[in-house]
Amino acid sequence: MRRENEFRYLTLANILREQIHSGFIKPGEFLLSENELCKHYGMSRTSVRKSLDQLLLEKLIVKKVGQGTIVSPDLVVEASPNKVLRIFTTSPSNFYDLCMPLLIEAFQKSNPNVEVKCMSFSGGDFWDSINTSMDLGLKPDLILVSDRQFGETENLEQFTDLQDKLGGSREAIYPRLWQSFSDSGRLKALPVTFSTVYLAYNPDLFQRYNVTEPSPSWTRDDFLEAAGQLTMDLNGDGINDVYGLSLSSSLSRWPVIALQNGVNFKAIDSTDPILNTLKFLHHLLYKHRSAALSPRNALNSESFTREKAAMVLTTSIELAGWKHQTMPFTPKIAPLPFGKQKQTMLIANVLMLPKNSEEPELALQFLQTAVSPEVQEQLSATTGFISVRKQINEAIWSQPGLESLHIYDDTIENSLFLYEIFEDAHLVDELEAEMTLFWAGMESASELAERMKLILTKP
């Protein structure tokens, strides 16, 4: 935890430093207040204050008693003689933290006189922040976003069509991926990594308590039995210390179970499939009591990384971030055992090129570098991220591993991004809010199933 907090305050210091050096916040102008920084970047007051203290040491900012913090009025921001490629990113982002340095290094090998500057914005109001930045005259050449943020883009016309600008790279990428980020045949975003939502487990816990590890043919009953065996009260105080599964209430995770049971959220003609899924979730949490619930805004629950849960629905992007914090074990991937449908969810990080980019040719070169075979292989080998190139994954992963990831042969074609499951982004927030009592065990599966049908079928 201490290492994570240190990492967060340094990340915020880097964000503010870049905003100052880039001229986004000019000498004499006020920074956001400490309260606003806490809210905007999702950090504790302690982390925010440590970030500001770092900038004070560098004499980039000045604190004015009773007024706030300003950029040092005496600061002189010198113009760089080099060309600048400006990339806006979302924060926090495991891809940005772990992969962007590799992309920049590879790009600058062929463009040594180009300075790549990255500026991060809070994911909570990302597009509003981007628009405000552009209104102030600070324009990005590339924007790194998640698949969900892509789905929330209000005007895709402001982004360049990449369909015929990537040479042979597009053909090497999974068709399922570039098709998902196309609009009327125009490629509006380039995926640079992706992941399915899969089931990871801690083999050390399975071995420690003599529980049979998941096999390619294991079933839902096998899963339930293993989860039950791995739910334990280790200190004898009557309260479980370890659970079989860490279950998130986020709509970016648990719908995998629904999809595997044949739920079509776009056309709920019958409540039976969703009812069966909700009953299963309640069974895990409150009857079987083999799952611990984490809130939707805390996907990176520590229960799995600290060996308090044996299994978790996760992604390679999330797992890479956990490994960066140092886990005491090496996770393995288990086949999803929840239903007959060979289906799961997808997430991705994509780069978008605004039409008003001041360096469009350099931006295209960066995109080509990001999906080149050499860089994609390096990312997969050093960080654990999944490549967008099918051949690289087939060279790195075994067939059982690819099958567990649901990317073997054409199985990826059945998987869906969140914005494809729920085309209205506001619907995600509405459904998550409606499920509060259900997750607390205060509402039955049948009550929620009926209400969800009404919400999903309303005109």
Backbone angles phi, psi at 363, to 5 degrees: -60, -40
Residue range 105-131: average pLDDT? 86
With CA atoms as reference, report the closest residue to 415 among 405, 400, 427: 405
* pLDDT band with cut points at 50, 70 and 90 for residue 8: low
Under DSSP, the state recorded for 287 is: I
* pLDDT band with cut points at 50, 70 and 90 for residue 169: confident
Query: 243-248 and 309-314: which strand pairing?
Result: parallel
Give dist(CA 119, CA 98) in Å, integer: 15
Per-residue confidence (pLDDT) for residue 80, from 0 to 100: 66
The answer to whether 448 and 278 are in contact (CB under 8 A) is yes
Residue range 42-66: average pLDDT? 88
What average pLDDT does the chain have?
A: 89
For residue 352, what are the contacts with CB-CB under 8 A and spacing of at least 6? 142, 143, 145, 150, 153, 159, 188, 189, 190
Record the tokens describing residue 290, joined without a space: 């083999």
pLDDT in tens, 254-275: 999 999 999 999 887 778 899 9
Per-residue confidence (pLDDT) for residue 448, from 0 to 100: 94
Helix residue spans in 1-140 (DSSP H) = 2-21, 34-41, 45-57, 94-98, 100-110, 126-135
- Residues present in the chain in total: 459
Tell me the CA distances in angstroms from 257 to 193, 276, 282, one per residue in order: 23, 10, 13
* pLDDT band with cut points at 50, 70 and 90 for residue 321: confident
* pLDDT band with cut points at 50, 70 and 90 for residue 154: confident
The answer to whether 143 and 88 are in contact (CB under 8 A) is yes
Per-residue confidence (pLDDT) for residue 337, from 0 to 100: 95
Backbone angles phi, psi at 242, to 5 degrees: -130, 140
Backbone angles phi, psi at 243, to 5 degrees: -120, 155
Residue 29 has pLDDT above 50, yes or no: yes
Question: Positive or negative CA dihedral for 166, 171, 177, 179?
Answer: positive
Residue 299 has pLDDT above 60, yes or no: no
With CA atoms as reference, report the closest residue to 118 among 95, 135, 152, 136: 95
Mapped onto helix, strand or coil, the DSSP state of residue 83 is strand
- Burial class (CB within 10 angstroms; exposed 0-12, middle 13-18, buried 19+) of 59: exposed
* pLDDT band with cut points at 50, 70 and 90 for residue 121: confident
More confident residue, 67 or 205: 205
Per-residue confidence (pLDDT) for residue 82, from 0 to 100: 78
Give dist(CA 459, CA 455) in Å, integer: 9
Q: Name the residue type at position 107.
A: F
pLDDT in tens, 188-247: 999 999 999 999 999 999 999 999 999 999 999 999 999 999 999 999 999 999 999 999
Per-residue confidence (pLDDT) for residue 252, from 0 to 100: 92
Record the tokens describing residue 424, joined without a space: 């209205």
pTM of the model: 0.84
Q: Residue 210, Cβ neighbours under 10 Å: how many?
A: 7
Mapped onto helix, strand or coil, the DSSP state of residue 193 is strand
Give dist(CA 95, CA 447) in Å, integer: 39
pLDDT in tens, 415-451: 999 999 998 888 888 999 999 999 999 999 999 999 9
Of 132-136, 405-409, 429-433, minimum mean pLDDT range: 132-136
